[in-house]
Structures are given as structure tokens and as C-alpha cells.
Amino acid sequence: MIDINALIEITARSLAISGLATLFASLWSIPIAILLSIGQRRWARLLIAIFNSLVGVPTVIIGLLLYLLLSRSGPLGILSLLYTPYAIVVGQALLITPLMISFGVEVIGVRAKNLIEMSLTFGASTTQLLLTIIEEASTRIMAVSILGFQRAVGELGVALMLGGNIRGFTRVFTTAIALEIQKGEFELAIYLGIILILVDFIVIMILRILGWRK
């Protein structure tokens, strides 16, 4: 049946990879989202529309494009990133960026606009403004990050194309589930799916509780 050590290992690896991807994606997505929602100009709205439409790009397409880049015969082949956990981190971070920006513009934007009007009266600089917004809208930012994490941890295309589903190295929840289905072990695949949901739930509860304490 389920090898408990393998299960713990897959869980830890999935969380580390997708957590790291979310962290990186947050570093650029959230400032971009804030800047775009502040920006009143036409190009800002155009960019928002572009990010909106990129949310729906199939994960395998991102996986395939990055595979061609990172392949030994591709332009970035010398980095030897392909079939390592880092390749999945890069892929998932790119994958969730449009989603985090789009959602960020919606939920942080409203809060940000109020703060700007307030801050402008105090004559704050752009950097100070950005920091104020990040501090004041932390719960919303957390919500954006959680959504990004969810998309990262639940996607299959990038993990399969860039990680290769190598046992003990790049096997994560979704690729393990796909493999069990290929093997015909449908029950095991469902158990893994349930565990994935439970782990997700626990992670989010911890983050939410920490957020509520404010």
C-alpha cells in the first residue's frame, strides 16, 4: 500500500517547491499589482487586460516552452536546470504570476486607492507609499498569495514537463497522482488527492489564523 516515508517526502517536497514558487511570484506580482491598480493611464489598463488573459494559459504550454528553453539543446541548457526541483519552482512562479497580478489588482487595488489619497496629503514618496500599502493590506496580500500557492501546488503540466516525475527528486503530489492513474492504481490516486486537499487545508488554516491575530 502507501509507503509512508515516500508520502512524507512527497508532501514536504510539494510544499517546499510550491511555497518557494509562491514566495518568488509574490515578490514581483504584488508590487506590480499595486502599481497597476494605482496607475490610471491607459497602458496600465492594457497590461491588466493582458495579465487577465494570461491566467488561462494551459500549464503544459508553460511547461513545454520552458522545457524547450532549459533543454540541454536549448538556449539555457548550460544551466542544467531541467529535471531538478528548481526548474519546477521557476515554472510554477511564472505560471501563477498572471493570476496573482490579476487577483491582486482586484482586491488590493481598492484598498490602495484609499491609502494613496490619505498618504498624498502627507507628501509620501512612492517607496513609502508602497510600503504603507503592503503593511495596511497584508491580509489581502496573504489572500492573493494563498490563491497563487493553490494554483501552484495543484498544477500538473509544469511539474511533469520540467521535473520529469523522478522518484525521490522531483516527484510531487500531482505527478505522483498521474503516475498512479497510469499504473491503474485508482484508489491510491484518490487517497493522494485527499491528502493533498488536507495538507492544503492545514497550510491555509495556519496562515489564516496568523492573519486574523492582527
**Nearer Cβ to other proteins (42/214):** 214
Using the rule CB under 8 A, is 8 a contact of other proteins? Answer: no
Using the rule CB under 8 A, is 39 a contact of other proteins? Answer: no
**Nearer Cβ to other proteins (51/175):** 175
CA torsion 134-137-140-146 (nearest 10°) is 30
**Which position among 71, 79, 130, 132 is part of the footprint of other proteins (CB under 8 A)?**
71
Backbone angles phi, psi at 39, to 5 degrees: -60, 130
Separation CA 109–CA 97 (nearest Å): 16
Residues in the chain: 214
Using the rule CB under 8 A, is 73 a contact of other proteins? Answer: yes
Closest CA to 109 of 138, 137, 147: 137
Q: Interacting stretch for other proteins, rule CB under 8 A, among 92-100, 113-121, 191-199, 205-213?
A: 205-213
Task: Bin 60: left if φ > 0, else alpha if -120 < ψ < 50, else beta.
Answer: alpha
Using the rule CB under 8 A, is 19 a contact of other proteins? Answer: yes
What is the contact surface with other proteins in residues (CB under 8 A)? Answer: 12-13, 15-17, 19-20, 23, 71-74, 77, 82-86, 138-139, 142, 164-167, 169, 179, 181-186, 207, 210-211, 213-214
